[in-house]
Structure formats: C-alpha cells, structure tokens
Amino acid sequence: MKAELLNDLDEAKLVKYCQDNNPVAQKILYTKYVQGMMILCLRYIPGHEDAKEALMDGFLNCFNNIGGFSYRGEGSLSAWLKKIMVNQCLMHLRKRQPIVMPGNELAGNEQIECPENVLDHINAKEIMNMIHALPEGCRTVFNLYVFEGMNHREIGVLLNISENTSKSQLHRARALLKETILQTS
C-alpha cells in the first residue's frame, strides 16, 4: 500500500498493517511516536546517545512483538509503546550498572519551604535538567511514580526493591528537586 494512503489511516488500521510487517506502516508508526518516546527515554537516561540507543531498541522490540499486541481503542497503541520504552530504559540502565538505591541522607521530617511563585521563573528544560541531575535511583523512582503513574508496590516489583525503598527514593528525589529549585531562584 502506498504511503499517501497509509498516512490517513486510523490507529487500528495502522496497527493491522504493522502486524502484517508493512514497512511503510512501520515508518509511519515510528514517525508518529518517535519524538514523544525520545522525550520519555531522556527522562530515564540523561545521555542523548544512550537514550537514543534505548529508543531504537524499544522500537525494534515494538515491531518484533506487535503481532501479539491487541488493539483496545484509541490510545492503546501509545500506552503499549510507552510501556515498552520504559522497560527498555530500565533494561538499559541495569545493563550499564545496577540501579543503586542509596540510603536517604535527608531527615524524614525535614521540610524545605518554597515560595509560591518559585516555578514561574523556571522553564521545562531547566526542570528536566534538574531531574537528570538526581541520583539514578531517585530519578528512576521519581519518573515511574510521577510520569508513569505507578504506585510504590508496582515500582517495587519492577525494580526489585521494597515499597518503603520506593517511598524513600521518591521522598529524597522531591527534597533534592526542591532544594535545587530554591538554589536557582
């Protein structure tokens, strides 16, 4: 089928053509999702080249396994692809070195006061840089909890850590981010 005809396909038909190994449909799927998935990969893996490697491995995984994907309505393809990319990023991080979950160096009850308008002077790129600067364990738990909407039990199972470790890492990530934001304002 010609590219012009495939460009106007709905998601269900695009999936069907990809399941039939249609290279034009695969290219359309890739083009449609690559930018968003690269942003997702960069949240987990700060280095651009490493994130790009995880992205490519994720799309390869997608095309190798799309035959088993069951379309469940608009958005299900995106959710499935996002899950593949998150898993690919975690595998990439584990392959590089085990994800370390250091102890919480901040006192559990320590509160850092933030002025209400502190975020008015920080753009999204600066916030992403702050997230990238977090220790790997904190960054990973923060991303899974905040961006992927996982709970601590799910994060614990995925990362092979306890729920309490997940909670501690999230607390530490938030405290470190807050501290960094206050230092830049």
Give me the domains of the chain, ranges plus CATH numbers. Answer: 3-96 (1.10.1740.10), 118-184 (1.10.10.10)
pLDDT of res. 112: 42
pLDDT at 104 over 50: no
pLDDT digits (tens, 9 = 90+) for 41-86: 999 998 899 999 999 999 999 999 999 999 999 999 999 999 999 9
- pTM: predicted TM-score of the whole model, two decimal places: 0.75
- Mean per-residue pLDDT over the chain, rounded: 85
Mean pLDDT of 113-128: 65
pLDDT at 34 over 90: yes
pLDDT at 111 over 70: no
Neighbouring residues of 31: CB distance < 8 A, sequence distance ≥ 6: none
d(CA 99, CA 107): 22
SS3 97: coil
Name the DSSP class of 162.
-
d(CA 159, CA 142): 12
Evaluate the CA torsion angle 71, 76, 78, 80 in order and state its sign: negative
pLDDT digits (tens, 9 = 90+) for 145-170: 999 999 999 999 999 999 999 999 99
d(CA 179, CA 176): 5
pLDDT of res. 5: 54
